Amino acid sequence: MHHANHFYGHAHVLAEYCGLDPANPPRIDGYVQHGWNVVDGLGPGTPYAPGKPIFLWSEQTRRRAWSMGRRQATVIGAPFLYLLEFARPPADPTRRGTIWYPFHGWERQDVEGDHRRLIDEIMSTEDGPVTFCLYWHEFRNDKVRAVYEKAGRVICHGYRGQQWLDTDIHFLHNQLAELRAHSRVASNRLSSAIFYGVAAGCRPAVYGDPMQLESEDLSTAERIRRQWPELHGKHPDPAAARPSALAELGAGYLASPAELRVLLGWTNEGVTTAA
C-alpha cells in the first residue's frame, strides 16, 4: 500500500510488535497515520484508494476523518506507543537537560524564520545542556545546521524515507533513546515529538518564534495554540499536559499483537519472534 506506511520505520515497529521480521514488514492493507495532524490523519495530498481502511492514532482524529468521508477509519494508537511496549529500558536511566525540536520544513516547503534569535531564547530559558534535534531536511542544510552547532549538540534521528527507499528503520528507536536521556522535550510548534517526549517521561514545553512554512496557511497553527493551551508555554504543568498528549497518541487503544495482525492484513504471515 502507500509508501508513507514505512515513514520513520512505522511498519517495521508494528511488524516487530506483531512478532514478524522488522527488517521486512509485510504489506499493510491500508494507510497508517504517519504523523500528528489536526485533519484526517493522512498526509496532505495523499492519493487515497476509496474503500481502503486508514489506521489512526486517536479517537479525535477518527471523528474528524469520519466527518470528512473517511468511513473506514480505525483507531490503533501511534506506532511510537507500540515501540514503548517492547523496547528495552535504558542501561543508564539518568536524564539531563532538554532535547529541542525546531519546527521544520520538508521537500516542498522550507521553513522561514530567524534561527539565531530562536536559539538565544532557548539558551536563556533552558537549565542544563540542550540537544538540538534537526529534521533531516534541515540537518542536510549546512548553513542551518552550522547555526545550531555553534550553540550545542546537534543530532538527527535519521531519514524519514521516500518511495520505500532509504528509510531509517530505527528512526523511532533512536528518538526514544534520546528522549529517555533528557528531562525536557521542547519545540516552537506542537508536534509528534512533543507527544512522544511526554510518553517517554519528559516534561514538555512549546515556546519561541513558531516560524512558518513557505506559503503556509497560518490559521491551522493558530487553532492548535488555542486548542491545546496546556501544552504551550515555557513551563506547562506536566499534570495537565500529560493526559492531552497521551490522548493524541491514542493511549488506551493499542491492539494486541494478534489483533493488530488481523487489522493490518497480516494473518497469513509467519510469526518469527515472540509476540
Q: How does pLDDT run across 70-81, given as a tens digit for each residue?
A: 889 999 999 999
pLDDT for the residue numbered 6: 96
Domains of the chain plus CATH, in order, are 3-78+250-263 (no CATH), 98-240 (3.40.50)
Strand 130-133 versus strand 184-187 pairing type: unpaired
pTM: 0.95
pLDDT for the residue numbered 168: 95
Q: How does pLDDT run across 188-238, given as a tens digit for each residue?
A: 999 999 999 999 999 999 999 999 887 778 898 899 999 999 999 999 999
Residues of the chain with pLDDT under 50: 274-275
pLDDT for the residue numbered 173: 98
pLDDT for the residue numbered 124: 97
